[in-house]
Chain A
Amino acid sequence: MLEIENLTVSIEGNVLLEDINLHIAMGETHMLFGENGSGKTSLLMAIMGIGKYKVESGRIIYKGEDITRMPAYERARKGIGIMFQRPPTIRGLKVEQILEIIEHNGEDPEKLAAELNFTDFLDRDLNLGFSGGEIKRAEILQLLAQDPDLVLLDEPESGVDLVNINVIGNAIRKLLQKDKHRKREKSGLIITHSGFILDYVEADRGCVLANKTIWCAGNPHELIEGIREHGYHECLTCERAQEFQEHPDDP
């Protein structure tokens, strides 16, 4: 589904990511861990093609096609969807209007909104006065309407209360076809700090971003537990990371 090869990304001349290699197969979900400022969001933005994230070198291959120089809207139309961590407020644009204008799969927006307890927000300006949890639900709702094949989620659980984390977790399961055991066609790359989302979404692999690159990778549960116990600074000297860097292709 997604192949990232030796990707180096900068903003205004500052290199944020260096020599990133990542492979997400069809039906797989990967978790992305890393300290604040480690470049997790930048990686998602670069995959989406957001303008100011400049690819200095390397390639992004999606479904076998090189999309490195493709504008964001074409990537969206080809099936890449993103949940922004801090989406902007767009005054005058109603939630129901954006559901109509985005690339979508034809599912009834009202029905989707009902699944997310979000019906009352359909006639509200997008993100205007929304709480943290409401912003996440508005983002998930758009993704459900879009139904992308590659789902990029930037901290889907942050700022969400315990009731709504259940709602959001289940919506992400749906997006990623987690209830489908065979021929799963949706892939995901999810940034998480807390790892709570792992209670809802079974992930195939976890990656740690450090020193501007994929520093370590492996079983997501083991990684998050290690991070919880020792913090990210341990990652920098951890044997597992050294092994990964020597043999990045080992499972």
Chain B
Amino acid sequence: MPDAKRKAEEAKGKAARYGPDIDLGQYTVDTPAYPEQELDKIDVVDEKRLLDAGVDISGNERSGSFIQVDSSVLHAAPTQEGIEVMSTRKALDEYPWLAEYLWNLVPVDTDKYTARAELDFQDGYFVRALPGARSVFPVQACLYLKAEDVSQNVHNIIIAEEGSELHIITGCATDSPESRGLHIGVSEFYIKKNARITFSMIHNWAANVAVRPRSAIRIEEGGVFINNYVSLHPVESLQLYPGAYLVGRGATARFNSILLAPPGSHLDVGSKAVLSAPGCRCEMIARALSTGGYIAARGLLVGEVEGIKAHLECRGMILKGDGEIHAIPELDGKVAGVDMSHEAAVGKIAAEEVEYLMARGLTEEEAVSTIVRGFMHVDIEGLPPVLKEQIDHAIELSEESLF
């Protein structure tokens, strides 16, 4: 038995460190199969739900598209030279060297979810920018849950070769807001020397869906990783804690998270960054808004060498009901000469801000909405306009659930 399979077998009952434990037996891996289709002919998905998650099946202003429904890859193709988009299974067939990249950053025996992604592997996407290639538009990747009670277990590999630039938008959605299911997504990112990845993930799950992404990122010298994570819709249980390993001199990582937990949603979201080369920089910014749900906003910065700089900022706002926001910022400086800081605040909407805007002619509802929109706004440097539009659109959509 190959090593990964053996380790996965051993870990298949292992609960995750964070988040409610899930009985995987509730979810099936047997799903109907769908044939491959041209992007604009795909007819088994709800286009609007995809669009709300930032995925446009017209393919306009995209450098490539990947669409997977349950366990079937419907479409995987780039539209720009120098950018590769294919299913992980196909990429593994095509590139023997790729096996080395699999389970290299995320240990297969991390927990029962990584174990299932190995034991019941259902493909995923492979996106690569060749050396020096720069994606003009983002590549879009969509993971879609259609069947009921299904567990979708994907493994994604993303590689930005030396000097390349890759923008990816990942939209995750269910077929309907009532769908029930489990999504397990393992993603391993490799950012080579002086390369750059902007990865924006917009989740549009459903109130009965559990989500367990497992991601890790390796950033070499001069590399940049910008991660934008947006989850503004109800989700039963979501737990993620990507780890970034900044191993090359001057590597940079930034994590921006915008989270909304309506009543009944449980979000346990965080990120970890290990800065182990001089000149590395990391910034984590989280905005957490509860309208009655639970949010744990975690962040861990580890400074291993002198001359690194890292900052973590978490702002939480409990708008109504008995919502809960638990901010857990952690700093771990392992040597002298590190520069690490954090700030965290959890509060309610300030009455004086509402009154101030009312004195400018806004109704109370308009004032609250303006303040919340401002609260969720995060300035993201270098974000392509199309990604910014998608994030703004996702925030706008969430506003109706505020009142």
Q: Which of B350, B366, B367, B376 contacts A92 (CB 8 A)?
A: B376
Say which residue of A52, A72, A92 sits within 8 Å of B359 (CB atoms). A72
Q: Mark A52-94, 1 if CB is under 8 A from B, else 0.
A: 1000000000000000000111011100001010011011110
- Contacts A50-B355, A51-B351, A88-B353 hold; do A93 and B360 have CB atoms under 8 A apart? no
Tell me whether A88 and B356 are in contact (CB under 8 A).
yes
Tell me whether B371 and A72 are in contact (CB under 8 A): no
Q: B373 on the interface (CB 8 Å rule)?
A: yes
Inter-subunit contact A72/B355 (CB<8 Å): yes
Q: Which chain A residues lie closer than 8 Å to B362 at the CB level?
A: 73, 101-102
B188 to chain A, nearest CB (A): 33
List which B357-399 residues lie within 8 A (CB) of chain A.
357-364, 366-367, 370-371, 373-378
With A88-B350, A88-B352, A88-B353 known to touch, is A93 a contact of B374 (CB < 8 Å)?
yes
Partner of A76, one of B352, B360, B370: B360
- Closest chain-B Cβ to A152's Cβ sits at a distance in Å of 9
Across the interface, A71 reaches (CB within 8 A) one of B315, B353, B358, B371, namely B358
Chain B CB within 10 A, most for which of A73, A84, A87: A73
A88-B350, A88-B352, A90-B353 known; A101-B358 Cβ under 8 A: no
Asked if A92 contacts B375 (CB within 8 A), the reply is yes
Contact B375 A76 (CB under 8 A): no
The residue on B at minimum CB distance from A87 is B356
* Contact B361–A77 (Cβ < 8 Å): yes
Which residues of B, 297-353, contact A by the 8 Å Cβ criterion? Answer: 315, 350-353
| Complex contact B359–A50 (CB within 8 A) | yes
A48 within 8 A of B: yes
Question: Does B360 lie within 8 Å of A98, measured CB to CB?
Answer: yes
A79 to B373, CA, bound (A): 26
**Most interface-central of B353, B376, B378 (chain A CB within 10 A):** B353
Contact (A92, B358) CB under 8 Å given A51-B351, A73-B363? no
CB <8 Å contact, A146 and B360 = yes
Q: Which chain B residue lies CB-closest to A73?
A: B358
A192 contact set on B, CB distance < 8 A: none
A88→B360 CA distance, assembly (Å): 13
By a CB distance below 8 angstroms, the chain B residues around A92 are 373-378
Could you tell me the distance in whole angstroms from the C-beta of A93 to the nearest C-beta in chain B? 4
Decide yes or no whether A103 CB sits under 8 A from chain B. yes
Q: Which residues of A contact B378 (CB under 8 A)?
A: 92
Which of A50, A84, A90 interacts with B371 by CB under 8 Å?
A90
Asked if A103 meets B355 with Cβ closer than 8 Å, knowing A88-B350, A90-B371, A93-B374, the reply is: no
- SS class of chain B's interface: helix, strand, loop or mixed? helix
CB pair A91 B375 closer than 8 Å? yes
Which of B358, B360, B378 has the most chain A CB atoms closer than 10 A to its own CB? B360
A29 contacts partner chain B, Cβ-Cβ < 8 Å: no
Using CB atoms, name the residue of chain A closest to B287. A92
Interface status of A8 (Cβ within 8 A of chain B): no
B-chain residues with CB within 8 Å of residue A73 when the two chains form the complex: 358-364, 366-367
B361 touches A76 (CB 8 A): yes
What residues on B are CB-neighbors of A187 within 8 Å? none
A93 touches B356 (CB 8 A): no
Give chain B nearest CB distance to A74 CB in angstroms. Answer: 9
Question: Given the complex, which residues of B lie within 8 Å of A84, measured CB to CB?
Answer: 356, 359
**What 0/1 pattern do residues 142 to 160 of A give for CB contact below 8 A with B?**
1000100000000000000
Cβ–Cβ < 8 Å partners of A146 in chain B:
360-361
Chain B, residue nearest A48 (CB): B359
Residue of A nearest to B360 (CB): A102
Q: Do A90 and B360 touch across chains, with their CB atoms under 8 A apart?
A: no
Closest to B315 in A: A91
Residue of B nearest to A142 (CB): B360
Bound complex: CA A71 to CA B350 (Å): 18
**In the complex, A91 Cα to B373 Cα: how many Å?**
10
- Contact check, A90 vs B359: say whether CB atoms are below 8 A apart: no
Are B350 and A72 in contact, with the CB atoms below 8 A? Answer: no
Q: In whole angstroms, how far apart are the Cα atoms of A120 and B89 in the complex?
A: 52
Return the chain A residue nearest B363 by Cβ: A73
B287 CB, min distance to chain A CBs, angstroms: 9
In the bound complex, residues from chain A placing their C-beta under 8 Å from that of B350 are 88
Give bound CA distance, A156 to B361, whole Å: 21
- Asked if A93 contacts B370 (CB within 8 A), the reply is yes
**Which of A71, A72, A91 meets B374, CB within 8 Å?**
A91
Task: Provide the residues of chain B in CB contact with A103, threshold 8 Å.
Answer: 360-361
Closest Cβ–Cβ distance, residue A147 to chain B (whole Å): 12
Assembled-state Cα–Cα distance A88/B353 (Å) = 6
User: How long is the Cα–Cα vector from A98 to B377 in the complex, in angstroms?
Assistant: 14
Query: Which chain A residues lie closer than 8 Å to B367 at the CB level?
Result: 73
Residues of A within 8 A of B373 (CB): 92-93
* 8 Å CB interface, A36-53 against B: 48-52
List A contacts of B363 (CB < 8 A).
Answer: 71, 73
A and B contact pairs by CB, cutoff 8 A, 20 listed = A49-B359, A50-B355, A50-B359, A51-B355, A71-B364, A73-B359, A73-B361, A73-B364, A73-B366, A73-B367, A76-B358, A82-B359, A84-B356, A90-B357, A91-B315, A92-B374, A92-B377, A93-B371, A93-B373, A146-B361
- The 10 tightest CB contacts between A and B, nearest first, are A92-B374, A103-B361, A92-B377, A76-B361, A93-B374, A102-B360, A72-B358, A73-B358, A88-B353, A72-B359
User: Footprint of A on B, CB under 8 Å?
Assistant: 315, 350-353, 355-364, 366-367, 370-371, 373-378
Known: A73-B360, A88-B353, A97-B374. 6 other contacts (CB 8 A): A51-B355, A73-B361, A73-B363, A92-B374, A125-B374, A146-B360
